[in-house]
A = this chain, B = another copy of it.
Amino acid sequence: MKTKALGPIPAGYDALDGELAIGGRTASDLVASARSTPLFVYSRTHLDRRMAELRAALPKRVGINYAVKANPHPDVIAHMEPLVDGFDIASSGELAMVQAQRIDPTRVSFAGPGKRDEELEAAISAGVTLNCESEGEAARSLHIGQRIGKTPRIAIRVNPDFELKGSGMKMGGGAKPFGVDAERVPALARSIINEGADWRGLHIFTGSQALSAEAISETQSNVLKLAEKLSGDIGEPLPKLNMGGGFGIPYFPGDEPLDLGAVGSALERMVDNLPDSFDDTQLCVELGRYLVGEAGVYLCRVIDKKVSHGTTYLVTDGGLHHQLAASGNFGTVVRRNYPVAIASNYSGEAQDVVNVVGCLCTPLDRLADAALLPAADVGDIVAVFCAGAYGATASPSAFLGHGAATELLV
């Protein structure tokens, strides 16, 4: 069988006693303390290091928000609380999650194209900033604010006329369900201000999962130019500008890590050249995947090793019910291998070409195709990396009744 390459294992995952170690503990030790597989392990060390890299690279003036949707595990949110400047939520469910961690609501903003009245009410009542997605949503928010006697904090999410080039998901450029088309923003902003809302500025999100520093810098430059123009047209300075995110992580063979230094120094120059009208504008980037993606590893156990027509299968107790994106079934056209390893034989020499599959009774349930891996048999532990973002909650955990995975922050 022809070998297919695996994605690159993120930095900082070394061997201990021949096994994969996470947070200084071996995979078998982690599985033993969780008392079950499959298991998501999130590493504090990795979370801290990524934040330190970002603080070192980005201009001091630019805050860092955590997009909770990437990983809403309570322990992860609690760990991020002292590290980041703000939290971005996408539903009243996520509002409850940040409230459960006693996060100051003035640090929280809420974006999402289909906010229900009860969600708007919960957010306004808590004092969370609404990133308003349409004229209709603005009217509903103002009405709800009046009804409950609370001034809503409102920013406008802008649908810009440009996109983040090379991004995995484009969220700007042309017709989009997100935000308000740029040319309609000044009139809406004036109306929001006139109606007495607490004006919070703009949110300009253009795409996600880009690995090119040049593309990110170009987009950030476009975001700042657009914000400057819109602020002028509105006739008021922006209290805050959420510049969006888009910082990607390597998942697939050939992917190279983002050059964060290049992004930071380009952004430094842009920020230094901002006009005086931005002197009091809070700037931030909004990151999810980039903060937590590489900090998570999914561990599952080999339940069966079998051969069919010359092909060897490692059948695990994990699968797409926990790792939909890794199986290649979530917004992917061509399936490619994530970084995968034999966690229980991490120092072993790669010698066998195997297909790693999940336990679900569907041919979609693939974790690695034709992977060259060290020897593994029933009982061995398989690691799927880049499992910290859009893993547990972005997968159909009820599918086929196997249940959710354990999640552990170490």
Contact = CB atoms under 8 A, between A and B. Distances in A.
Interface of A: 68-69, 72, 89-94, 96-97, 111-116, 133-137, 159, 169-171, 174-178, 181, 303-306, 308-311, 313, 315-317, 319, 324, 329-331, 333, 355, 357-364, 378, 392-403
B395 A114 contact: no
A182 to B, nearest CB: 10
Nearest to A88: B361
A53 B342 CA distance: 50
Which 8 A-B pairs give the minimum distances between C-beta atoms? A114-B359, A93-B401, A175-B311, A94-B401, A175-B309, A393-B398, A91-B401, A134-B306
Number of copies: 2
Contact of A398 (B175, B317, B392): B392
Given A114-B303, A136-B304, A359-B112, A364 B400 contact: no
Contact of A309 (B181, B306, B308, B333): B181
B363 A170 contact: yes
Nearest to A404: B398
Given A69-B361, A170-B363, A176-B308, 7 more contacts: A72-B401, A112-B400, A114-B317, A133-B304, A133-B306, A177-B308, A396-B396
29 contacts: A68-B401, A69-B399, A91-B359, A91-B402, A92-B401, A94-B400, A96-B401, A112-B361, A112-B400, A113-B304, A114-B303, A114-B304, A114-B315, A115-B303, A133-B304, A134-B315, A136-B304, A137-B304, A169-B362, A171-B363, A175-B308, A175-B311, A324-B396, A393-B398, A393-B399, A393-B400, A394-B399, A396-B396, A396-B397
Nearest to A94: B401
A331 to B, nearest CB: 5
A96 B401 CA distance: 9
B317 A116 contact: yes
Contact of A69 (B89, B317, B400): B400
A287 to B, nearest CB: 14
A253 B146 CA distance: 47
A257 B93 CA distance: 40
A360 B171 CA distance: 12
B364 A169 contact: yes
A311 B178 CA distance: 12
A52 to B, nearest CB: 28
Contacts of A133: 304, 306, 315
